Structures are given as structure tokens and as C-alpha cells.
Amino acid sequence: MLKENTREKKNFESLIETDEIGRIEDRLNVIDVFLKTEEHFTLEDLISLLKSRGYEYDQEFVKLCLNRSVELGFAQKKTFEGQPPRYEHRHLGKHHDHMICTKCGRIMEFQNDEVEMLQERITAHAGFHILQHKMEIYGLCSRCMAARSDLMPLTSAKTGEEVYIRDVVGGGNAKARLISMGFSPGDRLEIINNDGEGKLIVGRGSSRLALGRGMAENVIVSLGRQREEGESSGPQKRRPLWRFFQDR
């Protein structure tokens, strides 16, 4: 990795020598620090890291260096939902995708040959030529999942999740109101929008319902449905990815 970084730094220097911006040495300091850290940086993150290494550069200068690094193919600029723009080291000839935790913001890289080959087969079948692609999977990381309770109020469910009603609680009027709206134990709900403020929008069957946060606190849900009596709890045979897409 050290040899690769040294080679890339020299490559970067040769490409910016003809720039009219100047400050070659300072720009090399920025790219050197950037290349040595394999993380997803915000602009502010990199400025802080530079300061810890003894470099005091203003935000506009660091931003100029990062943008030039993107233009020349040494960095990639990523924009994940709900997060500020981030930059990562671009390794030529290598591709990876991302899993993003919507609770703690953790970003995890992954690479899967089976997924890559499946994408190539799907596009080839359609006569489509891939220029570039990305996969971003949003959800909860293992650490955030471990911190969650098996049962939780509907207000704690995340946008995009499917949950199952376990119980309807609260005072007589509130409970009766929820039951009259059709919220019953065992029902599956799709969380369409829960931004932490205002009403929750949920899908139940073919209907979309708006529910105030106070009322939603009275609906107790879990992520998995309860198995019917006699239903096997053993592991199910996993379908290969190509079969999954063919069946849809």
C-alpha cells in the first residue's frame, strides 16, 4: 500500500505541474494525507486530520485539492442519503459498493463477485453497455441492531422497514381509535415515512395511513412476524441470486 501511495503521489504531481494554481508542495501535502487514510472523509474531516499532522490550510484550498483529485481520478466523491458529501481513495481497476447505517452513519464497503456477474448478465441480456454503476444499501448495522429491543413502539421503526403489530395499548379511547383504523395484532406495516417529526406514514395492505406520533407510541411492533402453529422454524434453503431475479 505504501508503494502504491508513493507512486500515486508522484503521478499526481506530474499531472498538476502544468496547472496555473500553484502551491504544488501544499497540494502534495493534502493528497499525501488523503491517500494514506482509507476512509470516507468529509471535507471537514480532512481539514481536521491535516491540522493533526501540522498543516493549517483553509477550507477553500482543501476543497480545491479534493476536487482536482476527483477530476484526475485519485478520489471519488460520494453523496449518501442524509449525509454530507464524502471522499474516498479511488483504486484503479477495483470496484466496491456500500452499506450505510441510517442510525449511526457507519459506511461499510463490500465487494461480491456474484452480484457483479449478475449485473453483467442482466445488462447483456438487455443489450445494455455498462459505463459505471453503484449499489448503496441503506439499513441498520449489526451494532445498531444489537441495541434495539425485540419489541418497540411504532415510532422507533425506520423508514423502509416492514414491521408486524404485536399489541395495541394505551387508554380506552386511543386503543379503540387505533382498532377502528384497522391496527390489529399480526398485521404487517410498511414504514413509508418516519422522519422523527410530525405524522408517520405507513402502508397497510393497499392503503396508506397517517398516524400522529402520540397514537403511534401505542402500537407495539417487531421486525419479524410470529410463526403460525406448526410452521417450521428450521433454516430455509437459500435460492441463488440469479434464480431470485428470474422469479420476480
Of 145, 180, 209, the position where a domain reaches its end is 145
Among the three residues 127, 145, 163, which one is the final residue of a domain in this structure?
A: 145
Question: In this structure, what CATH number is given to the domain that contains residue 44?
Answer: 1.10.10.10
Instruction: Report the pLDDT averaged over residues 121-143.
Output: 90
pLDDT at residue number 234: 43
Residues 176 and 130 in one domain: no
pTM score, whole prediction:
0.65
The end-to-end CA distance of the chain, in Å, is: 42
The pLDDT score that the predictor gives to residue 146 is 83
Q: Of residues 87 and 232, which shows the higher confidence score?
A: 87
Run of H or E including 136: strand 136-139
Do 23 and 42 fall into the same domain? Answer: yes
Q: In terms of domains, do 40 and 7 share one?
A: yes
Asked if the model's pLDDT at residue 135 lies above 70, the reply is yes
Whole-number pLDDT of residue 236: 44
Range of the domain at 51: 2-89
Alpha-carbon torsion, ordered 119, 121, 125, 126, to 10 deg: 20
**Stronger pLDDT, 1 or 13, i.e. the higher one:** 13
Confidence at residue 233, expressed as pLDDT on a 0 to 100 scale = 40
CATH number at residue 199: 2.30.30.90
CA-to-CA dists, residue 213 to 174, 180, 207, 219, angstroms:
12, 17, 19, 10
Give pLDDT, residue 26: 94
pLDDT digits (tens, 9 = 90+) for 180-230: 888 999 999 999 999 888 899 999 988 999 999 999 999 999 987 554 444
Give dist(CA 140, CA 105) in Å, integer: 9
Q: Given this model, what pLDDT does residue 68 score?
A: 93
Which pLDDT band holds residue 170 (cuts at 50, 70, 90)?
A: confident
Cα–Cα–Cα angle for 118, 161, 103, rounded to 5 degrees:
95
- Three-state DSSP string of 10-32: HHHHHHHCCCCCCCHHHHHHHHH
Q: What is the mean pLDDT of the chain?
A: 85
pLDDT tens sequence across 57-101: 999 999 999 999 999 999 999 999 888 999 999 888 888 999 999
Other beta carbons less than 10 A from residue 191's beta carbon: 18
- Structural domain total, the chain: 3
Binned at pLDDT 50, 70 and 90, residue 123 comes out as very high
Give CA–CA dist 157/223, Å, rounded: 9
The pLDDT of residue 149 is above 90: no
In a 13 Å sphere around the CA of 146, the CA atoms on its Cβ side amount to 3
| pLDDT classification of 147: cutoffs 50, 70, 90 | confident
- Let me know if residue 124 belongs to a domain: yes
**Percentage of the chain modeled with pLDDT above 70:** 90
Q: Is the pLDDT of residue 133 over 80?
A: yes
pLDDT at position 2 is 67
What's the pLDDT tens digit per position in 15-67? 888 887 788 999 999 999 998 888 899 999 999 999 999 999 999 999 999 99
pLDDT at 225: 58
